[in-house]
Structure 1
Amino acid sequence: MPALRAVILDLDDTLFDDGACTRAGLAAVAAGHGISHWAPEELFARHAQHIRDIDPLLFRGEVSAHGARVLRFTRQLTDLGAPQPDGEAATLTYRAAYRGAWTLLDGAPDFLRELRARGLRTAILTNYVREVQREKLSHFGLDQWVDAVLCIEDVPAPKPDPRAYQAACAALAVPPPEAVMVGDSWTNDVEGARAAGLRAIWLHRGGQRAPDPQVPQSDTLAGVLPLLD
């Protein structure tokens, strides 16, 4: 097996705690509309489904990132039974609470610093828009520890399309067999990466075992480091 030269990382729920921030935003929207008959996890699951439904429109350029959010919350409020669903106002409420809850997952800065100390090239590969993802990295100072950031505007197609991982490898000037993809999504960060010729490590914090036992996995970023040796 070729020596490992590069680590490509997902961002949301890999380095950045997107789940916690999303829950904070949804709670603010529900409170602002006096909605209490949906459990938080129901709100989260329905919101995630709306993202999956709307993302193809965003990826094809049929809606802007803001337009996707407005559509998402118009649908979410309709689900919740709001009499006059105002997706624009809900988007502003959500974004303020979401951004106010920004936090990194444990060990993210130390993990990136260690990769740099080992001489490994690093990239962020994310299926979201540049404006938001680069702001997150800059806000926490993580951008100084990565060599490339590829958002949805920077790749020919989103993960799990092989071209996304190939673009990240090209940005780091390494062939796919010399790179590993690390992330929390089995489909986007493991299956897609392996199909493109990269290695993969599944970062799963829920205690679930990997569908394929040959894929190394960890429930912490610190636990990923020994898997790179």
Structure 2
Amino acid sequence: MVDWSSLDTVFLDMDGTLLDLHFDSHFWLEHLPKRYAEQFDLHPQETKDQLISMIMAERGTLNWYCTDYWSDRLSVDITQLKAEVGDRIGYRPHVHDFLGGLRAAGLHSVIVTNCHPDPLALKLQRTGLDQHVDMIISSHELGKPKEDREFWSDLSKRVSYQRERTLMVDDSFPVLESAQDAGISQCLAILAPDSTQAAKPHHPDIPGICHFDEILPSLQTRRTLPSA
């Protein structure tokens, strides 16, 4: 599923890949509509329907992920509202073992996330995730989301990597397709990003796993290879 011997760099999504997507799903689908309705004295269900429709209209753009954009548009403090449910931020299964395996194998691990810097700071404070990887890049620093093919060429100005020796792991098929189009040699999908939801169907052209224990044995084998 992954040819570890041919890799130098592993790009990792954060939400839904390393961290449980349940936090974000709960925030955007439940907590934000509830608190927004309370703040502006609106009908809860109508507010939820309207907000979700508004948010979905921005899907795939940088605005979709932008805390500043939604704070301005909705006249609420998104970062503060996220902090209210910060106890829901947590790791997906086997992540610590996987990240430790990447480090033991001598692979360069870089989180490449669409998460805005403000909620990113909250998540790092809650998890200490930054202590387990070599680097973190937010797409907001580059001005375009990972879904944009040009993102990857811009990323190469911040991170030194060879596309033919790089793996991208993400729970978003559009992101993985973008990475493939940009020449990233190996892509791996996370099919169970949200612990409260059933796994997604497999992609016809991208291998997928539910949890990292499915690929840990092959990663650990790399440690014994002369090239490692």
The match for 2:199 among 207, 212, 221 is 207
Does the Cα contact within 8 Å between 1:10 and 1:184 map onto a contact in 2? yes
Does the Cα contact within 8 Å between 1:122 and 1:147 map onto a contact in 2? yes
Q: 2:195 matched to which residue of 1? A: none
Does the Cα contact within 8 Å between 1:216 and 1:227 map onto a contact in 2? no
Rounded to whole Å, the distance in 2 between the matches of 1:93 and 1:117 is 37
In the alignment, does 2:11 pair up with 1:16? Answer: no
Q: 1:77 matched to which residue of 2? A: none
Q: 2:177 matched to which residue of 1? A: 191
Per-residue displacement from partner, 1:193-227 (whole Å, max 9, x unpaired)? 11111110011114333232x42110112224357
Structure 1 counterpart of 2:182, one-letter code = A
How far off its partner does 1:135 sit?
3.8
Q: 1:141 matched to which residue of 2? A: 128
Q: CA RMSD in A?
A: 3.4
The match for 2:71 among 69, 75, 80 is 69
| Greater RCO, 1 or 2 (C-alpha within 8 Å, sep 6+) | 2
Structure 2 counterpart of 1:65, one-letter code = T
Q: Which has the higher helix share?
A: 1
The match for 2:110 among 105, 123, 131 is 123
In the alignment, does 2:211 pair up with 1:220? Answer: yes
**Identical amino acids, percent of aligned pairs:** 22
In the alignment, does 2:160 pair up with 1:160? Answer: no
Consecutive unaligned residues in structure 2, runs of 5 or more: 193-197, 223-228
From the superposition, tell whether residues 217 and 186 of structure 1 become closer, same or farther in structure 2 (CA, over 3 Å): same
TM-score normalised to structure 1 length? 0.72
Structure 1 window deviating more from structure 2 (192-201 vs 133-142): it is 133-142
Rounded to whole Å, the distance in 2 between the matches of 1:52 and 1:217 is 27
TM-score normalised to structure 2 length? 0.72
How many aligned residue pairs are there? 205
The match for 1:47 among 43, 52, 60 is 52
From the superposition, tell whether residues 185 and 154 of structure 1 become closer, same or farther in structure 2 (CA, over 3 Å): same
